[in-house]
Structure 1
């Protein structure tokens, strides 16, 4: 069987969905030596895959393009028609809307274009709703990352739940690896305080940074720790930061390299995840994998994924979050701080890749 995998998203920002695409593909290449693969990249091969490409079992297609939307919907589509395969897998973004062939397997991570539309521009909402509807119609099967997302995909797109497979995300090994950096090294590089709570995400409205900033600003004089926001700035965040950012108590790192992030996770008193909507919600899983307790919103898929391993507040509840932040020092020892057995066994890219291979073989 010949399997084509779209990895063109890896040339953009490395967020959770891009990491899902990269790790899932790499595990498939390790596990499956019988099928032939065609890996499709934009502009250059993503470094981790260079070791696998032999132009026999694993071949490569490098496509050129600048404008993201034109590339995804036109350049990629034209070249996919040229590439002959039995299965076409899209792990990050869904297939181009004009690409219609047998064997398309799309991944839809969440239905935020409907469920969290207020966190998008009108153009973004129109684009994602259109591409999801058409790509779903062109799909042989759909992959998603939680039972919550499976239900929303089925309800909104009227897609048979029997043709939707839940394949969990997992913690990337590079996040938990010890690269030998001390806390002092990382603290100096990112100008971190000695004691802090943290969150990690693209800083944008859907992640509900305003709630966390408002709650922390309200209680900062009652606690001995600061707030660290890890991640690049997203749409509409500057005006929120303008209202609440304190140069002395709130710290924004920007993008953090993989070799440093484990140190920041490990030395945080607590990881706070106030998100309004998630298909999976990887950062708190990463925090727990490194032994850091988590306070999380009970929105969307978050309780399904974090289960009994987190301390929850009601979605968007300013008072509940404020109370938890005040109580961190006194109650920290009672907070769960590790993944349970089910999570350790099932949030695994190796296990998920095996499930994908089973789906393909069907």
Structure 2
């Protein structure tokens, strides 16, 4: 089977979780010993970042003369040229790792695409009216034109089916790779004024669905009431306009010594902070998949999160949960409960890249 994979949307280092997802999946395809061929449709400004796959003779580039940073010209090119190029490559199946596919259907090959979440339907306030209209139209078109749609969790699958009335959706979880790479914790101790096992850590933003404000209120109560729990919280991921907002909060409540904003940190630093925290807290109430809690458990951290949307599903009851994501006392009660619990690395063989890649290939085989 000749599988064409659209990578013209990838902005190296800028796509967040979706970029990790596709690179992990490509790694999985590479580990599987099969006779499939993989045509990578790459853009002018991202092809170098995928060059390592060319050392496997089953992979080849089909160079698309587009720039991922130039949205309008990329969309025009994709809708006028991509299917033509795919037919020229004689592919059997076109795989779109995000919903960004041409407006019309091509019957020359099978089509599979992925929807990672329907955030604009649940949090429309994040988007302009134009963005909402485009996203809703795109999802509706994708569901109609693709032979199969992949939802990255059962939650997403059910959400798509409920909103678009289709049964043409399958759930395949994300592949996850956590590299066993760390920095010297002593350096982080000195930088942030923390001690081993005496702080909490989270990766978040101030977007409402991330629910970070609840954790800030939890930390405020721990400090103000002198509750016998770690008094420090480290937060990675807050930037831009959100940074000023959270700094005002910390100033107003005199929490600057207790809540530390790390800014951008390397994966090695993040891994180290996860490993040495008393617990990794993840208060989000909306995730299509939610990789950070799983990554933290793979690194040996205790994890306390919510049961909202996909989180209970993808963490597979292997961590600790609050019953009410917005209840401060519920969070504090659970933090007390797990404070002295033993840390241990929790494996997730279900998300190994080879296994997930095989699930995708099984799906592709069922269509071709």
Q: TM-score, normalised by structure 2?
A: 0.84
Shift of 1:32: 4.7
Shift of 1:80: 1.4
- Aligned counterpart in structure 2 of residue 229 of structure 1, from 210, 231, 235: 235
Shift of 1:270: 0.5
Residue 128 (str. 1) matches residue 128 (str. 2): no
Name the residue aligned to 2:32.
31
Aligned counterparts of 1:99 and 1:11: Cα–Cα separation in 2: 27
- Decide whether the 8 Å contact of 1:142 with 1:164 is kept in 2: yes
> CA deviation digits over 1:97-125, x for unaligned, max 9?
42522422111112222123344444443
> CA deviation digits over 1:40-81, x for unaligned, max 9?
233334666323216963221254326453255323333412
Shift of 1:321: 4.3
Q: Secondary structure of 1:125's partner? A: helix
Q: Secondary structure of 1:50's partner? A: helix
Q: Secondary structure of 2:325's partner? A: coil
Shift of 1:192: 5.6
Structure 1 gaps of 5+ residues are: none
Aligned counterparts of 1:171 and 1:294: Cα–Cα separation in 2: 17
Residue 142 (str. 1) matches residue 146 (str. 2): no
- Decide whether the 8 Å contact of 2:206 with 2:213 is kept in 1: no
Name the residue aligned to 2:23.
22
Name the residue aligned to 2:245.
239
Name the residue aligned to 1:286.
295
Aligned counterparts of 1:277 and 1:289: Cα–Cα separation in 2: 22
Aligned counterparts of 1:124 and 1:290: Cα–Cα separation in 2: 37
Residue 87 (str. 1) matches residue 82 (str. 2): no
> CA deviation digits over 1:236-295, x for unaligned, max 9?
564355324633211122232223221111011111111121111110001111111111
- Decide whether the 8 Å contact of 2:284 with 2:308 is kept in 1: yes
Aligned counterparts of 2:240 and 2:319: Cα–Cα separation in 1: 26
Aligned counterparts of 1:90 and 1:291: Cα–Cα separation in 2: 34
- Aligned counterpart in structure 1 of residue 171 of structure 2, from 166, 170, 191: 166
Structure with the greater alpha carbon radius of gyration? 2
Q: Secondary structure of 2:339's partner? A: helix
Deviates most, 227-236 or 23-32:
227-236
Shift of 1:331: 3.6
Aligned counterparts of 1:72 and 1:321: Cα–Cα separation in 2: 48
Name the residue aligned to 2:320.
311
- Decide whether the 8 Å contact of 1:110 with 1:149 is kept in 2: yes
- Decide whether the 8 Å contact of 2:155 with 2:288 is kept in 1: yes
1:22 to 1:132, Cα distance in 2 relative to 1, 3 A = same
Structure 2 gaps of 5+ residues are: none
Give the aligned length: 350
Name the residue aligned to 2:213.
210
Q: Secondary structure of 1:247's partner? A: coil
- Decide whether the 8 Å contact of 1:294 with 1:336 is kept in 2: no
Residue 100 (str. 1) matches residue 105 (str. 2): yes
Deviates most, 145-154 or 118-127:
118-127
- Decide whether the 8 Å contact of 1:313 with 1:320 is kept in 2: no
Q: Output aligned runs, 1:244-259, within 5 Å.
A: 244=250, 246-259=255-268
> CA deviation digits over 1:182-221, x for unaligned, max 9?
1023445x63633320111355322111221222123224
Q: Secondary structure of 1:40's partner? A: strand
Residue 348 (str. 1) matches residue 352 (str. 2): yes
- Decide whether the 8 Å contact of 2:29 with 2:358 is kept in 1: yes
